[in-house]
Amino acid sequence: MNPAIAGHEQFWADYQKTLHRFHTGGLSELDWERWRADRLTTVLRHVTDRSPFYRRHLAGIDIDRVTPDTLHTLPFTTKADLRREMYDVLSGSPAEASIFYETTGTTGASTPCPRGVRDILTSNSAVEESWRRLFRERFGDRMPVVGLMGPSELYAFGDVFSSVTASLGACHVKIWPESPRVGFAKALRLIEELGVEVVVCAPALCLSLAKAALHHGYDPAGLPIKMFLVLGEICTPQFRSNVSSLWPSATVYPTLYGSQEALCIATGAVTGELHLSELNYVVELIDPDTGAHLGDTGEGELVLTMLTDGIKPLIRYRTADLVRIGPAEPDGPLPGRRVEVVGRAADRIHLGAATLQPAELEAAVLDGVRGCLGYQVVIGHDADGADTVSVRMDLLADLAGDPAEVGAGVSARLRERTGLGAAIVVDTNLDPVTNTGAFVSWKAARVRDDRREPDQAALVARQVAHRYAIDN
């Protein structure tokens, strides 16, 4: 018997049977209804029995009568709730967990996010199947060497992907360049020496790694990287296309959408799209401003109810992420509905006559652009109080082409979306804050809004920016 699942054998056996049917298209509508209803009732009983917060939060509700269709009548769980209640949100003691994590605390108090056996098994299974299919498509029957470029202390990144590579029989190396024990020079040396073909990292790091390669005398085209698996912030098709111009042998795939507290919400397919981990959640969409329920397809703020009775299941958790959810494709590369992450609700940008989602602004800047090693949008006011925009871009001349033409294209796209043109500044020494995206937020890294005082996220990004400098 695998000691890692001791005491959870029946749960895991039942879950694996359903998971296999999910992956092979063998779940009927009736199967789905039963699974979601049974798991929802199990989790609601679990949290009201074991979580002090949920015992109070859901007091007076007949949880046995709650169904996936009536779930939206329950109160939300918010990030403020998690920060206020801390350990009282847990459905068990941290000592009952397998491993303890916490959120980064960049925009508020760090909150505990322990994971138990069931949490790890169910969440990691979605990542494992995604990687199995991606690797089979790109590498056939062999397994590549995987470079993990992300934090490990108190953070799930290193453990999740170490476990997945072990399950698949692949070698991995932890070479996060921001670690004081690694740095960019050592990371690049190991990529070359070990033949690292897959790099798992935040999108911004794809650009930083290319710039670092050039700084340290490497040709990105000569390094063995064939695949970037990215997570932690938005990654538009325009961004991915630009990365491929810098790394001509590599393809960029979003690999995971999730968080410390919500685990693995969706995983990536060879199409470049993310697919929901359907067995593990009931998903809803709401209006981010009013909280009105919008159903489970279309666009809105994502609300999650977790279906695994682990250490910290959350009920109607407001993620603060804006997403678009569409139907699953018949015979698609992964089962599950497709989800596109368009940015955090708080990162929406009011500019000129428009309000732009983060993904819309990035698309306007990078559409058709090649050889861009980084960018920053700077917003201000003119003498009359009208909005002004400038875009600072680090461009490789041999890939990007005429900077004037690049700038004209960016300006035209921004004018089309906002009514404002933009001044384009080519700058090979961008502020290191542009490299901090996944650590704080995309907006804090990519947008400097001089119209108002910086918010907490912007201040934190500024404080840690020096850690992300290429030549340190």
For the chain, the C-alpha Rg in angstroms (whole number) is 22
In this structure, how many other beta carbons lie within 10 angstroms of the beta carbon of residue 381? Answer: 12
Cβ distance 129 to 334 under 8 Å? yes
119 burial via Cβ count (<10 Å: 0-12, 13-18, 19+): buried
- Cα distances from 388 to residues 269, 345, 377, 419, 422, in angstroms, run 39, 23, 10, 11, 7
Helices 237-246 and 358-366: crossing angle in degrees, nearest 10, is 40
The pTM of the full predicted model, rounded to 2 decimals, is 0.94
What CA dihedral angle connects 190, 196, 201 and 203, to 10 degrees? Answer: 110
313 CB-near residues (< 8 Å, 6+ apart): 43, 46, 47, 91, 306, 307
Q: What tens digit of pLDDT does each residue of 307-350 get?
A: 999 999 999 999 999 999 999 988 889 999 999 998 888 888 88
What is the distance between the alpha carbons of residues 119 and 307, in angstroms, rounded to a whole number?
Answer: 10
Cβ distance 471 to 215 under 8 Å? yes
What is the distance between the alpha carbons of residues 325 and 338, in angstroms, rounded to a whole number?
Answer: 6
Tokens 């009927």 belong to: 28
Polymer length in residues for the chain:
472
What was the pLDDT predicted at 6? 74
What was the pLDDT predicted at 1? 43
What was the pLDDT predicted at 421? 82
197 burial via Cβ count (<10 Å: 0-12, 13-18, 19+): buried
What was the pLDDT predicted at 188? 97
What was the pLDDT predicted at 96? 94
What was the pLDDT predicted at 5? 77
Q: What is the set of domains in the chain, with CATH numbers?
A: 1-344 (3.40.50.12780), 348-468 (3.30.300.30)
pLDDT tens for the chain, 472 residues: list them: 466 777 889 999 999 999 999 999 999 999 999 999 999 999 999 999 999 999 999 999 999 999 999 999 999 999 999 999 999 999 999 999 999 999 987 777 899 999 999 999 999 999 999 999 999 999 999 999 999 999 888 899 999 999 999 999 999 999 999 888 999 999 999 999 999 999 999 999 999 999 999 999 999 999 999 999 999 888 999 999 999 999 999 999 999 999 999 999 999 999 999 999 999 999 999 999 999 999 999 999 999 999 999 999 999 999 999 999 999 988 889 999 999 998 888 888 888 888 988 889 999 999 999 999 999 999 999 888 888 999 999 999 999 999 999 999 999 999 999 988 888 888 888 888 888 776 777 888 889 888 888 888 778 778 776 766 666 5
